[in-house]
Structure formats: structure tokens, C-alpha cells
A and B are shown apart, each in its own frame.
Chain A
């Protein structure tokens, strides 16, 4: 009760003011009362007022004392803060270094925490996300390559009818289109089953959601649009529901607008096989028209578990249904169902990487703290006399500790505030310009919870780096400190030992960070060195999607033929060719393959597992345009328009026919390749991640399928500055109603494929660089201090005939001792913790010897440099030769006594004076 009243007074200035005024009024009223009584006792009004005032006393003091009751000890605290601020102002360089390094550490930690918090820790922004599950299927023939794949919609229909575990379950699939109401624009979208809104817990801000009967043909031409599309295309019209919207030439009716806060998974948030658009803006029902209920494993299925039903129970139920499906549809294998929490699926690919980076930044922050503790100890030895004097004058040691801690807390809070603001700016910049595809990145921001984290972290840092120095100061023996003319003798070797420990710790932490950064840098280098299988330079990909007017395959083929022809004649263009899906943009048309004359699917000759291929549909010149080498036979050509032919990638050909000539053989795969004659073999190309083996690929002529969307690859002779404008112009001459195409360089595909790795590496390298700098500073400080402590000893050694080299070696040996110890410990810990980062590496093991050696070498060099510096600096300042010890030992000996100059010409005399002082 008392506590809360005090808290209220503390937190609310309004409350405090009201109380103040009340006290004032009360005092005045009582004063008047006293005056009344004085007057009644016979004094004149002139005499009464002063009498009353005498009776009450000094009003200001009364007020102050009454107020002091509110916060006992408050005055002490305010005094401590003022005192700390004053003493910090007296050491501006130290204060600046401390605040900046703390800002760096706390800011980085805060920024990373906001990423981890928003991306990994916070529940998904859907209603009751703890019950939201992601269902995938396990198809035994594919399971060795793809443990789980998206769902077959027929299986989904079984589940929806019969599964009891879910209160609702929906299927969806990426499905965009070109809007031709107004300026043509191609947008990304999704086709979904009814219940989509309920399962994600989203209410349209306008209009309504889909109903079950809108899955039926004839009623399914309705659309739910995203807030962004509503604002862009409809000017945020409130009466948008019921308006027409032509998508791919088919009139749809807008039935509702989703709220701006609604987040739909993007890109490969749900796995690379269920790739979604970067910005899904239109949702339409999946209908049974246009092959919507097809049999491919393409559908993302989300379910909401009934209360009390576990993930495992739901999976068990689905698996029972799967066996029925197998019997029903004569599949030849029994598919399985896997049920995962949606949050785990979205978050798990980035959890390790973000966790490791957060750990790295904490290491950095720890280094900052150790470094500051070190600096403070150095300052502490300079302030030992001040503290000793205060102890001697009767200051309580507890109070002195509070003083010392107050300083570090002030520093930490100032650094933390600066860092947190920096983190906010950095996070804003990062989320708005990120080239990294992190799930939920658009939600990331610095909010109250993150501020609180920064605040707590600042307090922790303040205590952490302030505790040791303040303990040492408080333990000081005032008598000894004050009696000895020079502070160096009291802080002595004990202080040096502590500081050496700190430096060792700092080096160990830095070594860990450097190892992490080194491993990541090496991994990226390995990834970039992977043979991608195609030319990145001078290759551009144009993505074109045709509006719905292009109904027949002939029309569509005709368009792309014409586009390729027009592009080829543009100035500076060497060649152009159609490709259904370019390299590094993910896998698609994933199938088994069978060979004519052999029963069943082709198997890997070694593992006896089914070979899984991707099918790509291309036009003539594709291989030469992308620089994919032709190894055997010929490429596809114009004459293959009516023929059934295929070109295989080298790995696939070698797996199917290890020792035979593949040319002339016939293969069959789904996706429209049946009995195709193999006419050529080309080099391998990566289709999704560079870290994986290149995809086994079947290339077939694109004319057979009649694509309504695809890419045209263009190879230019050199830099063509206005290629985009030229491409647009060329397309407009074919069809002015086409939406603007997207242009992407092949280099950008590689960049995108390595962006996450680059991001990890950049962050880790920045941390490691900062750590190295701090370590340099820390080692330097301690060695310099150690040298200053031992100047007298050095002088004696020199006087007795030691060479400057001896002394230098002594300094180096002394200074490097903690560095070497720390390095050993750091590398050992890095080795032990290596398996934590194994999944982030490529091409090297966590115990990569070159990396470890390089880290050791770098740290040793930095350590040695930091040791040599203080010695040499002395030369510059006092002109006494390198390491300051090769001349004038007399001065060195004399220096320790400050003003007492010793004249060695008369040593006896001098000694007498010294001992007397």
C-alpha cells in the first residue's frame, strides 16, 4: 500500500504537484488559525501574524521536510546522481568512449533482439496461433529428397469431409493474374478454399468472406482484395464491395477488403516447394473449373486444431484417412501426413541463424563491458586517493560503492538510450530496404517490449562493468593509500592481476566472435565459388505474364515467339530465349522419370532410390543465351516444334545411363514429357540453393504447353543502359494491353540466393571487427598500465646493465601472457560450440583449421601491436628511445617520486631525501 502510494507519487508529476499545493494550503490555513488565536489572546493583528509565524516556524523548511517523507533516501539518490554526472564531466574522453562503445553494444543487441523477438519469439499475428497447424504430405518415392511436400487437393477434400481433429481446414495455392480494369497490372494472389478468413482469424474491413458454395464453378468469380490493392486501384472507395474487377480477362466481383494489418505468408515462408508471392494482394476461391481440383501435390493446407486435440493426434487421424485414400485411388504407395505448428514451420529455418547472431552480439556486449571495467579500473587507480580521502573523512563504504556504481549506471543508461535510438533507426532502414528474405520482417519494429529490453540490458551492463571496480575502490585501505605518496604502490600488482584476467576474457570472447565470422566468411566464399552452371554477366531475365485474352496455347506460343524475335533484334542484344522458370528461382515440375523399355521409375544406380527431376520448358537458343554448355548431341531448335524431344542435364544422364550413350533413348515424365527422344546433354544448373547439389533436369520444348506466363532470357553484348525501356517498347508493339514486365539480371538471382548468408556474414564480421578493436584497446590499456607500474624496476634493470631489447622482451612477454591464455580458451570454446553453427556453414567444418589459425594469427598480431605501442609511445613523448628504457635510467628512477629529483651524482644524499619523504 505504502509502496504503491509512493510509486504513484514518483511516477505522476500531477499527483506530486497536487499534494504539494495541498500541503501549502494546509500550512497557510493553520497559520491563519494560529494568527486568529493570537489575536484572541489580545495581540493586535500586526503582532499576531509574526507570532503565528514564529509558532509554525520556517515554512520552506517545513515543506521540504514534509516532502522528504514521500521518498526517504531520495535526496541521497539525487545527490549521488549529481555527483556522478559531475565526475563524468571531468573525464570527457573516458565518458565519450564509454558511452559510444556502450551505444554500439547495446544498440546492436537491441536491434538484433527486435529481429529475434518479432520473427521468432512472438506468436504469429493470427487469432489463437497456438492452434494453427501446417499440414504437409510425405510421399515415400520422393521422401529421400523431399521429406515433406505440399498437399494433394484430392487428399485435402477427404480430410475436410472426414477429419474430426480440426475445427476448420483450408487449402490454398499461389495464383496471381493481370488486372485489366484500368491500367494493366500483374499482381500476385492466392486461390483459397472457403474458411480462409476464419482459420486465420481475419475479418474483412469491408464486405465479406468466401462462402462454401463459391468454390463451385459459376459462382467462383469473386475476389477478396488486400488493403494495398484497394487503395491503389480503387482509391480506397468505401463502396468497393460488388464492383467488377477483370482478372486475366475474366470479370470478377470484389466481395471484400482485408484489413491493412493482415499478413499473408510470403515467398518461401512455408517452404520452397510451396512458394508464394512476395506480396499477395488478391484472394479468389479455388474452384473446380480450369483444373483447380488437380491431382498435383501443390497445395498449402492450414488447419485449426480443435481444443484438446494434439498435433500428433491430428496427424494420426489424417494418416488413417490417407490409407483409405490409397485404397480408393490405387496410388501404389501410401502417403503420410505431417502436422506441424505453423509458427515452427515459418520460424525454424531462421531460428538458428538469428539465435547465433544474437549470441554473437551478446558476446560483443560482454566485451564492451569487460573493456569498460578495465578502463574503470585504470581510472579507479587514479581516483584511489580521492576515495581514500573520503573514507578517511568518514564516508561509508557502502555509500562510496553506490557512488561508483551510479557513475557506471549513468554511463550505461546514456549509452543504452543512444544505442536504442540507433537501433530503431537501423531496424527501420533494414526492414524497408532489406534484401534478405526473413519471414515476418515487415512486422519488425522497436516497440515497448524492445525498449524495455534495451533498458534492462543497460542496467545489467551498468552493474556488470561497474561492480568489480567499485568493489575494489570500496575495499581500499585509506591509510596505506594516503601515506604512500604515489597511488601506484597501493593499487599494485593485485589490480594488475585483475586487469590481466579481464584482458584474457576479452581476448577469449573476441576469439569466439572472430572464429564465427571467419567460418561464415569462408562459407560464403565457398558458396560463391560453386559452379552455378550459367553465366551471370550480361544476362537479363524478363518476366511476362499474359492477360486472359490469350486463351489458346497457339495464341500464347505465338506471343512468346514474337517477343523473343523482337528482343533479339534490339540493339546490343545477342540472343534471347524462352524459359519457364530460370535457375535459382526454386524447384518446380518435380517428377519421377521413366525410361522406355524399363518398368517403373528410373532409379539411382547406387542408392536404388527413385530419381527425382525438375522439368523446364525452353525455347531455342536457351542454353547459349544462359551460357549452359552443350556436352553431347544438340540443343533444342525451331524444328522441334512438333517433335517430342528432350535435353537432359549431365547428372541425370549419368545416373540413368551410367555407361551408355543417352542420345536417341526415350524418356517419359509427368508435366507433358512422354516418350521424348533425348537429343542432347547439357551442363548442370542450380535451381534453388547453391548449397545443394545441382538439380537433375529435363528440358523440353515450351510450345507443347502454351504458357501464359514465363521468362525471356536476354544476353546482351555489353551494358545496355535503357534495356528496360527498350523491352517495354518492344512488348507494347506486340500488345499495348500488357502490364509492365519485370526485369532481373542473372547476377541478381545469385545475389538473392546468397542474401541471407551475406547478411549473417556481414553482421558477424561487423561484430568481430568491433570486438577486435575493443580487444586492442583493452590489451593496450593494460600493458601501458603494467609498464607504468614497473618503470622503476625497468630503470633498475637498465641501470644494472640490461639491454633495451631485454626490457622490451619482458614487456612483451608480460603483456602477451593474458592474450595467449585468452586466445587458447577462446579457441577451445569455439571448437566446443562449433556444432551449434554447423547448419550455417558450407564447404567447411566448424573446426576448420585455416580459419582457426587465421584467427589466432590476427589476434596474436593485434596483441603484439598493442604491447609494443605503449613502449614506443613513451619514446615519442619523452624522447627516451624505443621502449623508453635504453637511456636515462636515472630519470626513470626519479620519476616515481614526482617532484623529488634525484641527483645521482650524489646518490647517498638523494636516497636520504627520498626515504624521508
Chain B
């Protein structure tokens, strides 16, 4: 039985892609690898999700892409975070944290003070 994949919540993928690009410019394959690495293989990102997400972010002007020659001497489409993307990422992260806190409070209620 292969590794159980975690389904992405709607909008979460976009946030994770933006977060990955915060570390520096990267190509599509690199983003997928980085996500797998940092999530300790919890996220197996499918190409069918990644590339639409990249297209969407680019259309929205949150990231921009440029063809560059990579260290392996191959032309790659490298994505960069735009200022708008940076701003959006901050907003998304704080929203996410609020969400997680709320969910955590529900799942693990603190013992009543009374």
C-alpha cells in the first residue's frame, strides 16, 4: 500500500507554492521536489495540480516566470515571487494560522477554568 496522500484543502496549494518560492526562484519540477522534501514526503504533488496552480498564480500576477538556463545547463521556466504574491502569502499564512488555531481549539478543548 503506497503512502497515503493528503488531499489539499482548497487554496492551500497556492499558499504552499508561494511559500516555496519565498526561499528563492525555482522551476516547476523544483517546486514539486521542494514541497515533497519540506513536507517530508507527505505531499506528493501531482503535475495535474501543480501546473494549473502555476498558471493561475501567474495570471493573477502573484508570480512571474522567465526562461533561464539552469545549473544543469537546461533551459527552464523559472518562477519568482512578485511583491503582490509576497503580500498575498502573508495574508494567507495568517488566515491559515487562525484556521488551524480554531480547529485545534475545537479538537482539543482546554480544560474548563471553573
Which residues from chain A sit less than 8 Å from chain B, CB to CB?
A: 1-2, 5-6, 22-23, 25-27, 29-30, 32-34, 36, 55-59, 61-63, 65-70
Which residues from chain B sit less than 8 Å from chain A, CB to CB?
A: 27-30, 46-49, 51-52, 54-56, 59-61, 70, 72, 74-77
Interface of A is mostly: helix
Interchain CB contact under 8 A, A29 and B59 = no
- Supposing A23-B51, A66-B51 touch, asked if A30 and B59 sit within 8 A by C-beta, the answer is no
Q: Determine the chain B residues whose CB is within 8 A of the CB of A68 once the complex forms.
A: 52
Interchain CB contact under 8 A, A29 and B77 = yes
Contact of B47 among A29, A32, A56, A67 (CB under 8 A): A56
Q: Determine the chain B residues whose CB is within 8 A of the CB of A27 once the complex forms.
A: 47, 51
Name 7 A/B residue pairs within 8 A (Cβ), A-sorted: A29-B27, A32-B74, A33-B74, A58-B48, A62-B48, A65-B51, A69-B52
Interchain CB contact under 8 A, A36 and B72 = yes
In the docked arrangement, what's the CA distance between A33 and B75, Å?
A: 10
Contact of A66 among B29, B46, B52, B75 (CB under 8 A): B52
Interchain CB contact under 8 A, B29 and A30 = yes
In the docked arrangement, what's the CA distance between A65 and B56, Å?
A: 11
In the docked arrangement, what's the CA distance between A33 and B77, Å?
A: 12
A58 to chain B, nearest CB (A): 7
A88 to chain B, nearest CB (A): 34
Q: Determine the chain B residues whose CB is within 8 A of the CB of A66 once the complex forms.
A: 51-52, 54-55
Interchain CB contact under 8 A, B27 and A33 = yes
In the docked arrangement, what's the CA distance between A27 and B30, Å?
A: 12
In the docked arrangement, what's the CA distance between A55 and B44, Å?
A: 10
Interchain CB contact under 8 A, A65 and B29 = no
Interchain CB contact under 8 A, B51 and A34 = no
**What are the nearest 4 A-B pairs in CB distance?**
A30-B29, A66-B51, A69-B55, A26-B77
Interchain CB contact under 8 A, A26 and B28 = yes
Interchain CB contact under 8 A, B72 and A33 = yes
Given A57-B46, A57-B47, output 16 extra A-B contacts at Cβ < 8 Å.
A5-B59, A6-B59, A26-B76, A27-B51, A29-B74, A29-B75, A30-B28, A30-B29, A33-B70, A61-B48, A62-B51, A65-B48, A65-B51, A67-B55, A69-B56, A70-B55
Q: Determine the chain A residues whose CB is within 8 A of the CB of B60 once the complex forms.
A: 1-2
A25 to chain B, nearest CB (A): 8
Interchain CB contact under 8 A, A65 and B59 = no
Interchain CB contact under 8 A, B77 and A22 = yes
- Supposing A34-B29, A56-B47 touch, asked if A29 and B76 sit within 8 A by C-beta, the answer is yes
Contact of B61 among A2, A30, A34, A58 (CB under 8 A): A2
In the docked arrangement, what's the CA distance between A66 and B28, Å?
A: 13
A32 to chain B, nearest CB (A): 6
In the docked arrangement, what's the CA distance between A70 and B55, Å?
A: 8
A778 to chain B, nearest CB (A): 48
Interchain CB contact under 8 A, A1 and B27 = no
Interchain CB contact under 8 A, B77 and A70 = no
In the docked arrangement, what's the CA distance between A69 and B50, Å?
A: 12
In the docked arrangement, what's the CA distance between A1 and B28, Å?
A: 24
Q: Determine the chain A residues whose CB is within 8 A of the CB of B27 once the complex forms.
A: 26, 29-30, 33
Q: Determine the chain A residues whose CB is within 8 A of the CB of B76 once the complex forms.
A: 26, 29-30, 33
A388 to chain B, nearest CB (A): 34
Interchain CB contact under 8 A, B61 and A65 = no
User: In the complex, what residue of chain B is closest to A36 when comparing beta carbons?
Assistant: B72
In the docked arrangement, what's the CA distance between A34 and B45, Å?
A: 14
User: In the complex, what residue of chain B is closest to A19 when comparing beta carbons?
Assistant: B55
In the docked arrangement, what's the CA distance between A61 and B46, Å?
A: 11
- Supposing A29-B74, A33-B76 touch, asked if A70 and B59 sit within 8 A by C-beta, the answer is yes
Q: Determine the chain B residues whose CB is within 8 A of the CB of A1 once the complex forms.
A: 60-61
A336 to chain B, nearest CB (A): 66
Q: Determine the chain A residues whose CB is within 8 A of the CB of B51 once the complex forms.
A: 23, 26-27, 62-63, 65-66
In the docked arrangement, what's the CA distance between A30 and B33, Å?
A: 11
Q: Determine the chain A residues whose CB is within 8 A of the CB of B77 once the complex forms.
A: 22, 25-26, 29
In the docked arrangement, what's the CA distance between A22 and B79, Å?
A: 13
A623 to chain B, nearest CB (A): 86
In the docked arrangement, what's the CA distance between A70 and B51, Å?
A: 12
Q: Determine the chain A residues whose CB is within 8 A of the CB of B47 once the complex forms.
A: 27, 55-57, 59, 62
In the docked arrangement, what's the CA distance between A27 and B74, Å?
A: 13
